[in-house]
Structure 1
Amino acid sequence: MKQTNKSLFRAENGKSYLIPFILITCLFLLWGFAHGLLDVLNKHFQTEFTMSKAESGLVQFVTYIAYFLMALPAGSFMKRFGYKRGIIFGLLLFALGAFLFIPAVMIHSASPFLVALFIIACGLCMLETAANPYSTVLGPTESAAQRLNLSQSFNGLGWILGPLVGGLLIFGAEQGDQFALARPYLLIGIVVIVVALIFCFIHLPEIKEEIIDEAFPDEKSTLKEMTPTIPLWKRKQFVRVVIAQACYCAAQTGIFSFFINYVTEIDTQISNTQAAKFLAFGGMALFMFGRLTGSFTMKWLKPNKLLRQYAFLSIVCMLLVISSIDVISLYALYCSFFFMSIMFPTIFALGLEGMGSKTKKASSYLVMSVAGGAFSPILMGHIGESQMAIGFIIPLLAFSYILYFAFTCKD
């Protein structure tokens, strides 16, 4: 274990980044929990506010469109005030949105909940814009993707706890309990405030531009001096990585959002509460396990090669899900959580390679691409209104592009 800590979290000058890495990893857990709750809200809104599947996709729409609107301002804020202040500000926005669920339940309309979710998402965008690149530079350059996958594995733990707690407190509440929706958000709001206070009083090393330059040096070539002047959007591989990240977020959000719908349609004996538990202990547990094992697999298999294999297997899973072959399709849906688990952090890390001083701006665009998740639930809900399985053609197309992207990456 000591050797692992040294290789992953110790800079070339001997300075240990283990403690900062642990603190940053806690943020991944928090926003994973928040995103996990969304998948319960999606199904609950269909019943509580008499929404169609497409209309319930507004839950994900307001969340992920906030990433699109907030990503560049978040990057600018980070550049001017630093990562630590950005993290604290993001946590405060997170807590504000969570506490707004209390007055929202008194109105009994979907609109105030959507506003609260939008504010939460703005805070999450701040956290992700800071934490993703921060995690990659807290150690040797060659283990950046491995380190980010390790952090993201705790994000997976949050995805497990979100539907579990949400399912118990929301689906498990008594009929007519108007505060059922507010309870999990009141809980997370209090936790987030405590974490914000911790960040206010602890020392967190600021990652300067020159450290980022060392962590993500520009491509070694005869044009090395010219590389930093090339605009991001003229770098073909960067354009591909942004599209790939948008496709991944579309696939992940769609699969997570309609997991409960799919399971309860395949087996009508399964209740919403049971489906939420299956999502937590089945799908999300495999998601977390995939990120943990993916992080260590990258010690001997390059990230782009692992991405190729997992993208191909995700395509196979989606074909089986669309086919609706009873229990086989259910297991395929579970397996898709494992295979897509490493995609976000791996694509993110690959996208920051060779960016040098442009890393913060590139990170903002990659976080902005999370907006791909804003539209897929609405589209999937519309396509799968009568039969949810058909809607999974959207993740199928998304994974197909990711496979193409993985083959464009240098070995």
Structure 2
Amino acid sequence: MEKPYQPPASVDPDSPQVKENESSLTDENSVVPRRFLGAFILVTSLFALWGFANDFTNPLVRAFKEIFLISNFQSSLVQFAFYGGYATMAIPAALLIRKFSYKAGIITGLFLYATGALITIPASLSMSFWMFLIGFYILTFGLAFLETTANPFVLSMGSPATATRRLNLAQAFNPIGSLSGMVVASLFILPALNTESFKAEQAAAHPEYATMRPSAVDGLMIESLENFRDTHPEEHTAMQVHDLSVVRIPYVVIALIVLAVMVTFILTKMPKTAGEHEQISLGALTRRLMTGRYLGGVVAQAFYVGAQIMCWTFIVHYGMTLLGLTAAEAQGYNIWAMGIFLASRFLCTAILQYMRPGLLLGVLAIGGIFLTAGAILIPGYTGLYCLIGVSACMSLMFPTIYGLALHGLNPEDAKLASAGLIFAIVGGALMPPLQGWIIDGSDMTLGGTLLESVRVSFVLPLICFVVITIYGFAMSRQGSAASS
């Protein structure tokens, strides 16, 4: 631990020079030193930008299922493409920022983000589900660059002792972007879809639906859409054209915003956050990363991202299938979940001053296990409320796993090591299709109680929280990040 500044015996301790030195040392050990404050604010804005993309896209999994009339597994390929981009581009992004700079990585990321968002224009005009997937894939090339760059950049903006707290502070603004994406989807996109209007008309024409299980009604609604497609192909095509144009607009707007932010970074001089380190070989760095701390962090991060994406994507299916909610109503509960996530992120960042990061991570993961079990086993709105509550437990996980895994690495090594943690976002690509496949399957009975396939599918995030619990308590026992 760094000792407080002690002036030489011959120097007056009350002199201006001594006071300035003491103030400088105190500032350097603050969460964000003053000399990095402007850069920290600018880089933190990126966290909101990728949060918007992530959580505006989540409800499209259900929307595309109804617009294109495809299975849950097929529609969940939206998440496979979206988060698969991270796996593809994480390592190239890390190599680029090590060779050039954090600034170069950010500018490249913003350009790819805007490019992918703009591909939704030809995708919607051609009514091609697969072109949408290509656009999302390229968009997340950009997000991979931004996350691979921004996370270690923030970690390096000050003392290593406050690195995890600093990253948690920056990550606290990610849910603001996520919440914005959810609100746009809930208020302006989902209610404007003609598929939703069609389903409302079907419900009005069949009053008997009110006495049926919501999951059965949901299946009948899909059958009605399929019949409408087969019997009125021109009208159904017109419905698709309208709905895809509605989906396209926010992506075009966010692309323009991203391009404006890119110009801002091009014109802004970013500070150097650390001295130059000796050039290293990938082999040497790989050997240094062969530790339980780092490899366990990569595994834990993959399971965390998988759990997060599954909970936030399929909460819409949960509400619509089990409770008979409209898409907009179900997305409204997702907004509540994100609000809880945001509040909990700030609260947990404060708690980190008094509690070891690994210990808090393990405790929150146990909470995630119990709440996910509640969503599986408890029917009705209580189960939905449990699923919403999971967000409070997830709020701290990504930045804390990130900080724990990179603890002790110098900033140059962290540029490459961070690629593994961003690659771990592939968990969000692989697990949602598996959950969609389970939802497409049959219901099951447990102890004489019917468990709809949607509820059964949440066994997957429960398993994810078990893995995170093990990593959190393992890091807590090591105790090396206690001062973070």
* TM-score normalised to structure 1 length: 0.91
**Equivalents in 1 of 2:463, 2:431: separation in Å?**
11
**Equivalents in 2 of 1:65, 1:174: separation in Å?**
27
Q: How does 1:185-204 map to 2 (within 5 A)?
A: 185-204=251-270
**Equivalents in 1 of 2:430, 2:330: separation in Å?**
24
Q: Does 1:30 align with 2:49?
A: yes
Residue 113 to residue 352, structure 1, CA distance change in 2 (3 Å): same
**Equivalents in 1 of 2:277, 2:342: separation in Å?**
30
Q: 3-state SS of the aligned residue for 1:8?
A: coil
Q: 3-state SS of the aligned residue for 1:7?
A: coil
Residue 221 (structure 1) aligns with: none
Q: Is the 8 A contact 1:84 1:206 kept in 2?
A: no
Q: Is the 8 A contact 1:246 1:370 kept in 2?
A: yes
Residue 119 (structure 2) aligns with: 100
Match of 1:258 among 310, 314, 318: 314
Q: Is the 8 A contact 1:242 1:369 kept in 2?
A: yes
Residue 318 (structure 1) aligns with: 372
Residue 49 (structure 1) aligns with: 68
**Equivalents in 2 of 1:23, 1:353: separation in Å?**
24
Residue 220 (structure 1) aligns with: none
Residue 447 (structure 2) aligns with: none
Match of 1:348 among 383, 388, 402: 402
Residue 306 (structure 1) aligns with: 360
Q: Is the 8 A contact 2:293 2:404 kept in 1?
A: no
Q: Is the 8 A contact 1:94 1:122 kept in 2?
A: yes
Match of 1:238 among 285, 294, 314: 294
Q: Is the 8 A contact 1:322 1:392 kept in 2?
A: yes
Q: Is the 8 A contact 2:49 2:177 kept in 1?
A: yes
Residue 32 (structure 2) aligns with: 9
Q: Is the 8 A contact 1:232 1:238 kept in 2?
A: no
Residue 219 (structure 2) aligns with: none
Residue 389 to residue 8, structure 1, CA distance change in 2 (3 Å): same
User: How much has 1:233 moved relative to structure 2?
Assistant: 4.9
Match of 2:183 among 161, 164, 168: 164
User: How much has 1:358 moved relative to structure 2?
Assistant: 2.1
**Equivalents in 2 of 1:92, 1:35: separation in Å?**
17
Residue 332 (structure 1) aligns with: 386
Once the two structures are overlaid, the 10-residue window that deviates more, 189-198 or 230-239, is: 230-239
Residue 401 (structure 1) aligns with: 467
Residue 174 of structure 2 aligns with an amino acid whose one-letter code is N
Residue 197 of structure 1 aligns with an amino acid whose one-letter code is V
Residue 277 of structure 1 aligns with an amino acid whose one-letter code is G
Residue 4 to residue 271, structure 1, CA distance change in 2 (3 Å): farther
Q: Is the 8 A contact 1:72 1:368 kept in 2?
A: yes
Residue 275 of structure 1 aligns with an amino acid whose one-letter code is A
Q: Does 1:277 align with 2:343?
A: no
**Equivalents in 2 of 1:104, 1:179: separation in Å?**
10
Residue 152 (structure 1) aligns with: 171
Overall identity of the aligned pairs, in %: 33
**Equivalents in 1 of 2:184, 2:392: separation in Å?**
21
Query: How many residues are matched?
Result: 389
Per-residue CA deviations over 1:238-292 (Å, capped at 9, x if unaligned) read 1111110111011111111111001122311x21011112212x11111111111
Residue 292 of structure 2 aligns with an amino acid whose one-letter code is K
Residue 143 (structure 2) aligns with: 124
Q: Is the 8 A contact 1:137 1:212 kept in 2?
A: no
Q: 3-state SS of the aligned residue for 2:58?
A: helix
**Equivalents in 2 of 1:160, 1:360: separation in Å?**
29
Q: Is the 8 A contact 1:83 1:206 kept in 2?
A: no
User: How much has 1:174 moved relative to structure 2?
Assistant: 5.1
Q: Is the 8 A contact 1:252 1:340 kept in 2?
A: yes
Once the two structures are overlaid, the 10-residue window that deviates more, 133-142 or 251-260, is: 133-142
Q: Which runs of 5+ in 2 are unaligned?
A: 1-25, 195-238, 443-452, 480-484
Q: 3-state SS of the aligned residue for 2:461?
A: helix
Q: Is the 8 A contact 1:37 1:163 kept in 2?
A: yes
Q: Is the 8 A contact 1:83 1:207 kept in 2?
A: no
Per-residue CA deviations over 1:51-100 (Å, capped at 9, x if unaligned) read 21111110110111111110110001111110001101100110111111
Residue 466 of structure 2 aligns with an amino acid whose one-letter code is S
Q: Which has the higher contact order (CA 8 A, sep 6+)?
A: 1
Per-residue CA deviations over 1:175-207 (Å, capped at 9, x if unaligned) read 232411111101111110110011111121133
Q: Is the 8 A contact 2:375 2:455 kept in 1?
A: yes
Residue 233 to residue 42, structure 1, CA distance change in 2 (3 Å): same
**Equivalents in 1 of 2:101, 2:278: separation in Å?**
13
**Over aligned residue pairs, what C-alpha RMSD do you find?**
1.9
Q: Is the 8 A contact 2:113 2:139 kept in 1?
A: yes
Q: Is the 8 A contact 2:50 2:143 kept in 1?
A: yes
User: How much has 1:232 moved relative to structure 2?
Assistant: 4.2
**Equivalents in 2 of 1:252, 1:199: separation in Å?**
30
Q: Is the 8 A contact 1:380 1:391 kept in 2?
A: yes
**Equivalents in 2 of 1:5, 1:47: separation in Å?**
54
**Equivalents in 2 of 1:296, 1:5: separation in Å?**
19
Residue 407 to residue 181, structure 1, CA distance change in 2 (3 Å): same
Q: How does 1:69-84 map to 2 (within 5 A)?
A: 69-84=88-103
User: How much has 1:166 moved relative to structure 2?
Assistant: 2.0
